[in-house]
Structure 1
């Protein structure tokens, strides 16, 4: 089988997991290759994501590395057997490769944790808001709305938790009318039983490195969690256990710093109790006269 010329993030991550498992045993590539019936270069190419691994050899690899956790094994088997094709494949000519990788990871995730600084999270955006962000590029907007079905479809149950900085609520992308509708949409989304929204206010007195937006996609096992975060060069995916754990702790801290979750079912915020519902309603009220 030939080597892949283009490697998806899923394929890259699968290879990294195999590499970490082998490294933990202290075996070299040729040593595990001999047990697997593979030559040393084939092991290197597999760990780099350039070469596929069939499911039988995956189970042997996991056995050799003494990995018995059923959730981890199931997650690795799913990554191994995935074709990488899904609804997102049709958008390959229209969006960047990282967007396709994100959609693929989202499709396999068991839950999501999203922190946003100056934008409403993509999975919570209205069409009008998304049009402004994507400068009215029709296919990019369509792609974003299609991603949202993971949490908006009638049978959707995947938990989604968002912490949104107050700055994102006050940016006037598209003007007051677009932002009013966007804030109303946040309230509507909070009515979904699997969606939790919290607002991080400007007057928060604790610093927790709140400048980097990120999405944490939880796998079937914590070791298979993946983080996508923004940087000046574009989206970056992170699967290193220590790095992912740092983002997991960061999100837990952000949840503790943010206002209590938006409860759209409540009649209104208590005068003595600040919450995310009250923050959104306050900003929404100020937009009514604009």
Structure 2
């Protein structure tokens, strides 16, 4: 079987969890390989996701590593059993890998919690607003690229809009007031936020300027919960693209950050009132 040239985010995560399982057992790669009856090179390729691992082999690895965390083992077996390609794969070669991996992460999550400070979360953006966000990139993107990225972003929203994945967004007041595309586009976006806040499975909480501290400020973060806590993932937006974190220390840190956000943000009803007031202020600039 040929080696994978570009393992997906999920495939890499599975390899990472195999490595963690081995390291927690205090085993070296060569030592575990001998126990499994494979070469050290194969062991390395499994952990780097260059080759796949069958559900049966995964259970053998767990047994050899004395892993007694059955919920984690079952979740990893499910990952190893995945064969169906996601809808985002048809964009491979058209969009950068970051776009595809964010969509993959979101679609496999059991719950999504997002914190944004500079713009409305992508999963809640209108087409006009999303196009304006992409239009402000420098160097400028060709119109066709903007259209493709916008269509991709709207497609990503289906799982959240259909209530298939519970979704919570903490949105800083700065993001509500930043104008992408002008006041009319922003007013339309704020109206769409109000509508979304009434949908089943969607919770929108505002963090106003008046809050004295804002944990995680300056970062747009997504906390994607997996089927078990060990498979949670943090995704951070940066200028160069998307970063992903899954180390236990990173997950623990960001659980605290989001817990603090929960204690600081306005209630859902208070947030709706706040968004409505901002929208009315924006409308006054052009009516």
TM-score (norm 2): 0.92
Which residue does 1:2 correspond to in 2?
Answer: 2
- 1:251 deviation in Å? 1.1
Contact 1:165 1:199 in 2 (8 A): yes
Contact 2:170 2:261 in 1 (8 A): yes
Could you report, residue by residue, the CA deviation over 1:87-141 in whole angstroms, capped at 9, with x for unpaired residues?
Answer: 1111113221011111112111100010011110011001111111122511111
Asked whether 1:115 is paired with 2:124, we answer no
Which residue does 1:257 correspond to in 2?
Answer: 264
Which residue does 2:161 correspond to in 1?
Answer: 152
Contact 2:174 2:209 in 1 (8 A): yes
| Residue of 269, 277, 280 corresponding to 2:275 | 280
Which residue does 1:270 correspond to in 2?
Answer: none
Which residue does 1:266 correspond to in 2?
Answer: none
Q: Distance in 1 between matches of 2:35 and 2:278?
A: 63
Q: Distance in 1 between matches of 2:107 and 2:169?
A: 18
Which residue does 2:148 correspond to in 1?
Answer: 139
RMSD: 1.5
Q: Distance in 2 between matches of 1:146 and 1:51?
A: 30
| Residue of 199, 222, 228 corresponding to 2:206 | 199
Which residue does 1:188 correspond to in 2?
Answer: 195
Contact 1:74 1:220 in 2 (8 A): no
| Residue of 229, 232, 248 corresponding to 1:222 | 229
Give ranges in structure 1 of 5+ residues lacking alignment.
264-274
Contact 1:91 1:139 in 2 (8 A): no
Contact 2:214 2:261 in 1 (8 A): no
- 1:199 deviation in Å? 0.7
Which residue does 1:57 correspond to in 2?
Answer: 57
- Any idea what SS the aligned residue of 1:220 has? coil
- Any idea what SS the aligned residue of 1:134 has? helix
TM-score (norm 1): 0.91
Could you report, residue by residue, the CA deviation over 1:248-279 in whole angstroms, capped at 9, with x for unpaired residues?
Answer: 21111112111112x3xxxxxxxxxxx21221
- 1:48 deviation in Å? 1.4
Q: Distance in 1 between matches of 2:196 and 2:116?
A: 16
Which residue does 2:168 correspond to in 1?
Answer: 161
Q: Which moved more, 1:161-170 or 1:61-70?
A: 61-70
Contact 1:12 1:49 in 2 (8 A): yes
Contact 1:18 1:47 in 2 (8 A): yes
Q: Distance in 2 between matches of 1:207 and 1:251?
A: 10
Which residue does 1:267 correspond to in 2?
Answer: none
- 1:64 deviation in Å? 2.1
Contact 2:88 2:104 in 1 (8 A): yes
